[in-house]
Amino acid sequence: MIEREKRLLLGMLAALGVLLRVTDLGVPDFATDEAQAALASSAAWTPLGMGILKNVTMLFGQEIIVARSVSALFGIACLPLIYLLTREMTKKTDIALLATVIAALFPTHILFSRLAYLSIQECFWWLVVLYAFLKAKKEKEMFWYLLLFAATVASTMTKTQDILLPAFLVIGRIIELRMKVLRDTLSWILIIACIPFGFFFLTHPGISATLFLYGGNMYGVSGPFARIIDLATVWWKLLGIYLIAMAASLPALRTFPWPFHALLLVAVLTGYLLGPGHEYYATHLVFFSIPIATALLRSDASLRIAAMGLCTAYTLLTLGPTSLFLNPWTNHLYQKTGFWNQNAAAINDLLKEEEAVTVLGDAGHHFRWYLAPRVLVGRDMIAPYQTQYLILTILAEAPKAKGGTVILSSEELALVKLEVQDE
């Protein structure tokens, strides 16, 4: 049993985790995926996650901080869910508390609670789905059945890969019940809840096109060894000692029910299958806070205190408020204010008379967020260009701007004004 003082300390650490999720929201530039979500313009995602971001920014202001606040709220909301889920599985308050604190301090969950990626919304809905699944399985009550349905619909309509958890849960029930699964209410609820997703998939060719475009290279299982190395490298870079804690907690997984194993499998597989280099998939590893807490509570008190101290220190070093904790180990996104956040106004001032500008090189969606003129994607365009100004994002594109005048040049881009053609 944990004494009152220890619970107070754990409560303070949880509060620290909550505060860290609303810190430095405006420091990094809006990334291409963040802009894509906030502008609700992805052909490969289901609409709910993007829709929430877009509507919130329309209501409260089209600012980066507003968009990222959505993730912060979802990230904070994940914490009581971790508590409830752990308590449901272990029936022990002390494990639930400790798991919540570890989740509160989990670096990748903090990081992506500060950014407008959809991975945090994904985490939230997966936690609701699993909690509702376990409650419905045990108590067989209408409320839990309806919550399971609603959460599964919301999850699958947040991001396309969210279908993986319901699919794994159905497969798990088939293994558990065999032919009796045909009369299993839980399985049918999960399947029926995926109907809207199914129709969306069939009537939006962009999803299939994206799978086709990236299948076999970024998506899939090609180069399995290289994928594992990439995954381990990204995880180590972002999680450090938390990765060691995850590995040490694996024996504790024996005590958990198979649906939780399904959740962990989905958390790991999304990164492995869909792009090991994508840091945002590491958000899902926060679910390992539950077995980590279980393993820690089985160990000596001195080891437990040392581990929590090291974890807290690691989190503060890498993701502490930059005004207090800026150091060489601070996450690269927070080492300095982003280029676009500092220079977008000046670039827009140079382009204020222009209706459109052409981007040559990597034209991410953040260009549409930051630039006032309409942005044309110059990759497949052929000169002469329709616009007077070109933005070059890589040096290799320089020959296409031959004869132009460089107006602005930096590490990120060059702004070139083309000569006006005589008629």
Partner 1 sequence: MPEDTPVIPLLHYSLTRKSAILPPVTMTMKKRLLAFLIAFSLLLSTPSLLRVPRVLPFFDAEVRAAAPMMLNSLRERGMWLVNTDLKDVIKDAEGICFLWDHRYTAVERSFAPEILTTCTYD
Please give the residue ranges that form the binding site for partner 1 (CB under 8 A).
1, 7, 36, 39-43, 62, 80, 83-84, 87, 91-94, 96-97, 139-143, 145, 149, 153, 185, 188-189, 192-193, 195-196, 198-200, 202-206, 358, 365, 368-372, 374-382, 386
Q: Are 23 and 334 in contact (CB under 8 A)?
A: no
3-state secondary structure of 358: strand
- Residue 256's DSSP bridge partners are none
Q: Are 113 and 75 in contact (CB under 8 A)?
A: yes
Nearest Cα to Cα of residue 312 among 19, 86, 42, 58: 19
Q: Which is nearer to partner 1, 180 or 379 (CB)?
A: 379
- From residue 69, alpha-carbon distances to 25, 120, 210 in Å are 8, 11, 28
Q: Which is nearer to partner 1, 62 or 322 (CB)?
A: 62
State the nearest-atom distance from the C-beta of 116 to partner 1, in Å.
13
Contacts by residues 174-180 (CB-CB < 8 Å, ≥ 24 positions apart): 176/258
State the nearest-atom distance from the C-beta of 396 to partner 1, in Å.
19
Helices and strands (DSSP H and E) totals, the chain:
20, 5
Separation of alpha carbons 104 and 109, rounded Å: 8
3-class DSSP string for 360-376: ECCCCCHHHHHCCCEEE
Structure token pair of residue 162:
């969210």
| Other residues' Cβ atoms within 10 Å of the Cβ of residue 218 | 14
Q: Which is nearer to partner 1, 203 or 323 (CB)?
A: 203
Q: Which is nearer to partner 1, 165 or 243 (CB)?
A: 165
Q: Which is nearer to partner 1, 41 or 299 (CB)?
A: 41
Cis peptide before 399 (omega within 30 of 0): no
State the nearest-atom distance from the C-beta of 309 to partner 1, in Å.
22
Q: Which is nearer to partner 1, 1 or 221 (CB)?
A: 1
Q: Which is nearer to partner 1, 213 or 305 (CB)?
A: 213
Fill in the amino acid letter for 249: S
Separation of alpha carbons 342 and 347, rounded Å: 10
Structure token pair of residue 295:
């393993």
Q: Which is nearer to partner 1, 330 or 387 (CB)?
A: 387
State the nearest-atom distance from the C-beta of 47 to partner 1, in Å.
9
State the nearest-atom distance from the C-beta of 184 to partner 1, in Å.
10
Q: Which is nearer to partner 1, 139 or 412 (CB)?
A: 139
State the nearest-atom distance from the C-beta of 97 to partner 1, in Å.
6
State the nearest-atom distance from the C-beta of 62 to partner 1, in Å.
5
Contacts by residues 210-216 (CB-CB < 8 Å, ≥ 24 positions apart): 210/43, 210/44, 211/44
Q: Which is nearer to partner 1, 33 or 111 (CB)?
A: 33
State the nearest-atom distance from the C-beta of 236 to partner 1, in Å.
33
State the nearest-atom distance from the C-beta of 215 to partner 1, in Å.
15
State the nearest-atom distance from the C-beta of 185 to partner 1, in Å.
5
Structure token pair of residue 51:
């829709």
Structure token pair of residue 181:
């699964």
Residues 6+ apart with CB under 8 A from 191: 166, 170
Q: Which is nearer to partner 1, 185 or 327 (CB)?
A: 185
Separation of alpha carbons 76 and 110, rounded Å: 9
Q: Tell me which residue has tokens 């319901």.
A: 166
State the nearest-atom distance from the C-beta of 255 to partner 1, in Å.
16
3-state secondary structure of 408: strand
